Structure 1
Amino acid sequence: MSASWLERLTGPRTPAGYRPGATLARLRHNLGLTDLQSVASFTYREDGPRIEVRERTESHLLMHLVMCEFILCVPAHGQGRLRAELHHTGALRRSGVACRRRGGDQAMFERLDARLAAVHAILMPLDFKRLTIDCQDGQWQVTLEHMGASEVVNRMPALRRYIPLDAEQRKHLWQAFDALEHLLRDL
């Protein structure tokens, strides 16, 4: 039985013109890695944390975006649930980094927010679109979606543009993951 017209319009589907793995291949080149598939993990130095990267698509009218999500997992010492979201503050210029609780334990959030003050200076120069910190089932998970390492695809006019992850932003990304891993490991 075929899907109804409403299901076809509103249901999950891959965008027209989406090339799975193409953005990751360009990211692999930016990072200087030799093997990075559609879902992969890597370390950026021998004793560094393990980072998973995967593509995420976002559909819009006559266009779509392909973003790369960087995911860091750290074991949690205590039990509890928390979902927090970080974002840059300031209307025209970045003036800071703010943290919002999106669910979970208030006391756990207050401890996390107090500890995040130590890494604000590291997060300020990082160009991220989305940064979430989740704690669930005895594990912290940091998901960072960078502005770079993404692709914009327009259908009309026909345009496909990759936004690279430059060397400076790559350095800030590794510093942020080092600081967040250290912060969450001790929390």
Structure 2
Amino acid sequence: MSLIATLRQKLFELFSADRAPSGYRPGVTLARLRRDLGLAKLDVGGAVFELVERTESQLLMHLVMTEFLLHVPTPTPGAGSFEVHHGGAIRRNGIRVRQRSGNQALGPELQARLLADKGLFEALMPLDFKRLRIDLKDQQWCVRLEHMGGSEVVNRMPAFRRYIAVSPEQRNHLLAALAGMKRVLSNL
């Protein structure tokens, strides 16, 4: 093997996305988030959800983020991918649904249903989420919600590790949003 090929292989291994970041402790952030939620089982209002952890590497640090996954069976055929975000540049003034792919009629219908459900709307407006994605595939909705809390920042230089907790208020909004999503999507 030539020197260049060997060097290329070593660089690939060093910066490979499949490799866990240095200092990553699988499951530790999830355990802290479970403690913040204070639930014996991951079920709220009949909405059974799961938690998954993912990492994002940066130069001398990495982030450990958690996502709430909710699967809702539905009689709705077709497929679609949607992103939900807050409206307004400075102050939150509503909920917007951006369609990424799929049946064009589902986007406006989904937005109308999210806005019409008062409990869900009241939970989503103050909720501090980074990403909220809703996908429809094989007659099942999949909600992926990544909250700003329930994550960890790990820096190697200077060395520090900081967990960002989910506050009690955010916990209540989060659980209400998951229950509301199940309620709305099961009837869509």
Q: Per-residue deviation at 1:159? A: 1.1
Q: Deviations over 1:92-148 (max 9, x none)?
A: 332222110011110122211221212433211001010000000110011100001
The Cα of 1:15 is off from its aligned counterpart by 0.9
Q: Secondary structure at the match of 1:144?
A: strand
The secondary structure found in structure 1 opposite 2:51 is strand
Q: Does 1:20 align with 2:20?
A: no
Structural RMSD (CA): 1.9
Unaligned runs of 5+ in 2: none
TM-score (norm 2): 0.88
Greater Cα shift, 175-184 or 90-99: 90-99
Relative to 1, partners in 2 of residues 1:85 and 1:59: Cα closer, same or farther, differing over 3 Å? same
What TM-score does the superposition give when structure 1 sets the normalisation length? 0.88
Mark the CA change 1:122 to 1:150 in structure 2 (over 3 Å): closer, same or farther.
same
Question: Any unmatched runs of 5+ in structure 1?
Answer: 35-40
Distance of 2:86 and 2:64 partners within structure 1? 22
Q: 1:146-170: per-residue Cα shift (whole Å, max 9, x none)?
A: 0011101111111100011111111
Matches within 5 A, 1:41-60: 42-44=42-44, 47-60=45-58
Deviates more, 1:114-123 or 1:15-24: 114-123
**Moved >4 Å (runs of 4+):** none
Q: Is 2:135–2:142's contact at 8 Å kept on the other side of the alignment? A: yes
Amino acid across the alignment from 1:155: R
User: Counterparts of 1:111-150 in structure 2 under 5 Å?
Assistant: 111-118=109-116, 119-150=120-151
> Number of residue pairs matched?
179
Task: Tell me by how many angstroms 1:183 deviates.
Answer: 0.6
Distance between the aligned counterparts of 1:152 and 1:5, measured in 2?
27
